[in-house]
Amino acid sequence: MTNKSTLSLVVPVFNEADSITPFINKVKSVFSSQPDIGLEIIFINDGSSDQTLENLIEEQTLLPIIKIIDLSRNFGKEAAITAGLEQSKGDAVVVIDVDLQDPPELILPMLEKWQEGFEVVLACRSNRESDSWLKRASANGFYWVHNLLSNPKIPANVGDFRLMDRVVVEALKQLPETHRFMKGLFSWVGFNSTVIHYSRPKREFGVSKFNGWKLWNFALEGLTSFSTDPLRIWTYIGLFVSLSSFLFAVFIAIRVVVSGVDVPGYASIMVAVTFLGGLQLIGIGVLGEYMGRTYIESKRRPNYIIRKIFDVKN
């Protein structure tokens, strides 16, 4: 490690009062053997309603390398990460969860890879045993669909926990969009990346902030941010359905010529009507999804609002 290397940890926190002190102690113990790294820990308080901010301020009096960005309300993890990246100054930046599910000791091997010249070091969960069966299955399904439809691909089982060189952070800061699906944006900016594997432990304190509905919306966010295929697919579905109905019409015409008029047809008409009605509604829904996002994006609102920055160094 050269004398000048500085490292920023970007830690989004939302109602994590119990996790703060264990996290800081862990980071302190990891970096106690690394006196040459100029460390700053940036906590982004994402509108917590518990003692998170008070605890952070207290910790800051003991450890002045802590910087706290207090957001005016809960803007979501993606916005919180964006706020942290924008405030970070380190030559390398690590995005890490506070709940110790992203083990801080992994930062040291990440730094080694960085010094070998990789601009991005991803931490990949080699097993997800700490997740439920449903969460694993839906995560796999999500990565499969997302990577089928979107470009660039996102690596499977890689969360936000990663190290980035300053150039990568500067590139991310240039992206102006409001809908920030960080996993996708991280891939979109490119750069040389490598992966280190780890097994993801269970959450030590507190509870997960992501339920099924939030994750579903998160998946939609990712897909619509990085692919327009769901829009285009309706052209092909439409073509397929009209071609089939044309062939069916030809079939009926021939049958009338051959064996006369066939009156009963209630079932086939109902099927056709409801099937097409459903298909059209789905199509409109997909259009609406994109239109809504374009609408929000066009307002150009900032991704987050800062109430106050607590920085004892400056």
* Interface with ligand UDP (CB under 6 A): 12-14, 16, 46, 74, 76-77, 80, 97-99, 101, 203, 208-210
Partner in contact with 210, chosen from Mg ion, ligand UDP, none, beta carbon below 5 to 8 Å by kind: ligand UDP
For residue 77, the partner it binds in Mg ion, ligand UDP, none, with Cβ less than 5 to 8 A by kind, is ligand UDP
> Residue 304 carries which DSSP code?
-
Between 38 and 159, CB nearer to ligand UDP: 159
Short-list 258, 259, 215, 268, CA closest to 77:
215
Burial level of 194, CB count in 10 A (0-12/13-18/19+)? middle
> Taking CB within 5 to 8 Å according to partner kind, which of Mg ion, ligand UDP, none is near residue 163?
none
Is 166 or 209 the residue whose CB approaches ligand UDP more closely?
Answer: 209
C-beta of residue 184 within 8 angstroms of C-beta of residue 222 = yes
Q: To the nearest whole angstrom, how small is the minimum distance from the Cβ of residue 206 to Mg ion?
A: 8
Number of H helices, E strands in the chain: 10, 8
By CB atoms closer than 10 A (0-12, 13-18, 19+), residue 27 is buried
CA atoms within 13 A on the CB side of 275: 11
Q: Which is nearer to ligand UDP, 73 or 301 (CB)?
A: 73
In the complex, least distance from residue 274 CB atom to ligand UDP, rounded to whole angstroms: 39
Contact residues for Mg ion, defined by CB under 5 A: 99, 101, 203
| Shortest distance in whole angstroms from residue 202 CB to ligand UDP | 10
CA–CA gap between residue 303 and residue 180 (Å, rounded): 8
Please, which residue, 109 or 159, has the CB nearer to ligand UDP?
159
